[in-house]
Amino acid sequence: NAGVTQTPKFQVLKTGQSMTLQCAQDMNHNSMYWYRQDPGMGLRLIYYSASEGTTDKGEVPNGYNVSRLNKREFSLRLESAAPSQTSVYFCASILGQSNSPLHFGNGTRLTVT
């Protein structure tokens, strides 16, 4: 099915370990986003990419890096995981028109011990 695909679905890391969350969309969308969801906090924007080749910080970028590998793929990297990064991570994409809805992946539940 067309949409936004995130991998993995679940991950457990130890403090200090690194990992990359993968995201790909097959809808030819221009913009892609990484959000984190924490209880009582809603969704907060980590990084976004308005178009291929560009990335910008969102509300909570510290501890993360991103790569817009091509138009389809937008990865999120944790270089040295911390317990505060325990969260559910969502990738999303949009065609580019402001009244278009965001299309979300199914999320990655990350636990850092």
Partner 1 sequence: AQTVTQSQPEMSVQEAETVTLSCTYDTSESDYYLFWYKQPPSRQMILVIRQEAYKQQNATENRFSVNFQKAAKSFSLKISDSQLGDAAMYFCAYRSTQGGSEKLVFGKGTKLTVNP
Q: Which residues bind partner 1 (CB under 8 A)?
A: 31, 33, 35, 40-45, 48, 50, 58, 88, 90, 92, 94, 96, 98-102, 104, 106-107
Helix, strand, or coil (residue 112): strand
Nearest-5° Cα angle at 80, 79 to 84: 120
Q: Is 77 left (phi over 0), alpha (psi -120 to 50) or beta?
A: beta
Whose Cβ is closer to partner 1: residue 80's or residue 100's?
Answer: 100
Rounded to a whole number of angstroms, the minimum distance from the CB of residue 71 to partner 1 is 15
- Distances in whole angstroms, Cα of residue 27 to Cα of each of 11, 70, 105: 26, 13, 12
Whose Cβ is closer to partner 1: residue 72's or residue 109's?
Answer: 109
Rounded to a whole number of angstroms, the minimum distance from the CB of residue 63 to partner 1 is 20
Rounded to a whole number of angstroms, the minimum distance from the CB of residue 58 to partner 1 is 7
